[in-house]
A and B are shown apart, each in its own frame.
Chain A
Amino acid sequence: MRLTEYINPKCISVDMDVKGKDEAIEFLVGLLLQGGSITAAQKEEVIKTLKKREELGSTGVGYGVGIPHGKCSSIEEIVLAIAVSKKGVDFASLDGKPVHIFFLLLGPEGSPTEHLKALARIARFSKDRNFREKILKAKTPEEVLEIIKERESKELA
């Protein structure tokens, strides 16, 4: 499994400017739509799934990272969106701190293995301070993708 296989640079933003959890989720889903990873018809279902998930407990996991995720029956394979907010978003994180880096992970129903592995890899990268600092400094979506590629090849080496 490679995360980078699931990432389309069109679904990455380095200048997210939103307030609060709902806006953050809508922005991220907007990126998926813009990159063609989901269709307009899927948008509402996806937003609903993610918001429902957040109601059960924030996916703001600390370290300034948020990993909103969920599964939808109309999704065929894992899709990702990534957004960086320079000023941070109040995401009701577990440590109470604003979120600066979002990884949105959406997967199909079933196949928990791929989903867990993808989440695990995002978690592992997010724990890496050097990785987070690089992502925060990235100026373009391509740069973000490059940083993830580099980190992932280190992981698989």
Chain B
Amino acid sequence: MGIEAGMLEKEIRVGNPLGLHARPAAKFVKLSQKLNSDVYLEKDGERVNGKSILEIMMLAAEQGDLVKLVVDGEDEEKAIEILGSFLAGENET
């Protein structure tokens, strides 16, 4: 199903004032794991698995950093909406 739907990408500036440290990374992973689509995050050309907290922490993304969200799968439109707004959100937790 993922193949016929192609994939979606979106560039987003990280909104969290503390960056994507462990807690927001864990929240992101909780959200992404509920989705059927494959989820990837890219920063400075490095792509990591958006369903792994350790991989997301590896990016050290700070507030204002540009990250690329890539989703691929049957619920990719929902995925880009939910994950995109989480990344851009300024909620500190």
B49 to chain A, nearest CB (A): 10
What per-residue 1/0 map shows which CB atoms of B17-44 lie under 8 Å from chain A?
1111111001101000000000000000
Question: Which B residues touch A123, using CB under 8 A?
Answer: 54-55, 57-58
Interface residue count for B (Cβ, 8 Å)? Answer: 22
Could you list some 29 contacts between A and B, CB below 8 A?
A56-B93, A57-B22, A57-B23, A57-B26, A57-B27, A61-B22, A63-B54, A69-B21, A69-B22, A112-B17, A112-B19, A112-B63, A115-B21, A116-B18, A116-B19, A116-B20, A119-B21, A119-B22, A119-B60, A120-B57, A120-B58, A120-B59, A122-B57, A123-B54, A123-B58, A124-B58, A127-B54, A127-B55, A127-B58
Residues of B in contact with A (beta carbons under 8 Å apart) = 17-23, 26-27, 29, 52-55, 57-63, 93
